[in-house]
Amino acid sequence: MKKPVIQAPAADMLKLLEELAAFSAPGPGVTRLLYTPEWSGAQRFLQEQMAGLGLEVHTDSVGNVFGRLNGSQHSGSVILTGSHIDTVVNGGKYDGAYGVAAAVTALHYLAETFGPPLRTLEVAAFCEEEGSRFPLTFWGSGNVTGLYDGSAADSIADPEGVTLMEAMNACGLGAGGSRTASEESSGRGADSARREDIGMYIELHIEQGILLEQSAAQIGVVQAIAGQRRFTVKVTGTANHAGTTPMGLRRDALAGTAEMLCALERSAAEAGAPLVATAGRLEVIPGTPNVIPGEVQFTLDIRHSEAARLESFCAALAAAFREIAARRGLTLELVPTLATAPAPMNQALCGALEQICLEQGRSFRRMVSGAGHDAQLFAPECPAAMIFVPSRAGISHSPEEYSSPEELAAGLNVLTALLYKLAYEAS
């Protein structure tokens, strides 16, 4: 049987992206933080759009929005696709929202063109991935996959002291919040966002990097999402007078830190791709021009797609830091603050994406995602896949974030073709 030509209406997707971008706090770019009026407005707008396109719409207790296209074979297993709609402060209009707009467009196109699928398709607009308002990430998909159970909501607060639970309640969410009658038959508990009915998860996203643009590849087929290790580091020496303390008698915390950061960069370069390591924040105490620094605090962010290599690099780096501190008469405190495992994508789905690219005449490259995505939470739960499209100059989390309409349309049609294959072709 000849495969159908997939030509989803990119204009509909681009219009939806522009309409979503209008839900933003004042300022450059798009700012749509979790449980703010801008976020609430965007989620309500999406519910209206999904319902208007004939999808069965529901929300869960934390505010995730879903639009369902029911399949004729009632297997109880859903093919879920989508992304998140929250943003960083002064972010772009493509990060996350592109995956949602494309998924809505794809499901509507498939239903209009081919009728009901064999397997149920569902689009998700997750309520949070970035962690820009509250000090946690993946709150939306984390509740769906069981990473969170809602118990953190009372103890986590934003910079203004508003707890996650208070913010949820202000939006009419939380335990006893908005539910629908279909939830009892779809694997969702009465007051829980946890889902047990998801059979596959597919996410389309801008790359947020420069590899696709540099290699002139139209599509990135993600092989894995890198695991992350984050640490806070405190180096303590002795604060003393900058003019009266001889160089040989100093216990300079900043000088020791500088040697550690040079070792970090050198070790990461020697380890090679896809490992990356970053010291993102540094605080010097007392921070006075005529005082030798007595204490320095800094952060580490280390990422790799292979767990063993990530762990061995972190262990070797910690040993190198301890050696530097001991030699300089400094004390070292290295505290882990985040540990996420690498998330391999499903190889059968990766292969299907590559075949679709070949059939559509699109260039592609296999790649690792250094950034975190909702897909990494689903990968341990069910087969998962990610599709990337290029980001101009690799810029993201910025008003300058941009992917061309042609690049966005290519990703849409690859996603749509995969959903057709998974939901419409008999296995």
Q: Which residues are annotated as a binding site for allantoate?
A: 230, 290, 303
Q: Tokens at residue 378, please?
A: 């689903």
- CA geometry: angle 279, 282, 288, nearest 5 deg: 155
Which is nearest to 202 in space by CA: 105, 86, 122, 120? 122
Residues 6+ apart with CB under 8 A from 126: 64, 82, 83, 84, 85, 96, 140, 141, 144, 374
Q: Residues within the annotated binding site for Zn(2+)?
A: 84, 95, 130, 205, 397
In the three-class reduction of DSSP (H, G, I as helix; E, B as strand; rest coil), residue 52 is classed as: helix
Contacts with 274 (C-beta within 8 Å, 6 or more apart), sequence order: 226, 303, 304, 305, 368, 370
Residues 204 and 82 sit within 8 Å (Cβ to Cβ): no
Specify binding-site residues: 84, 95, 130, 205, 230, 290, 303, 397
Residue 247, SS3? helix
Q: How far apart are CA 208 and CA 226, in angstroms?
A: 14
- Token representation of residue 220: 């990135």
Distance, CA of 152 to CA of 134 (rounded, Å): 11
Q: What DSSP assignment string belongs to 297-343?
A: EEEEEEEESSHHHHHHHHHHHHHHHHHHHHHTT-EEEEEEEEEE--E
CB 216 within 8 A of CB 407: no
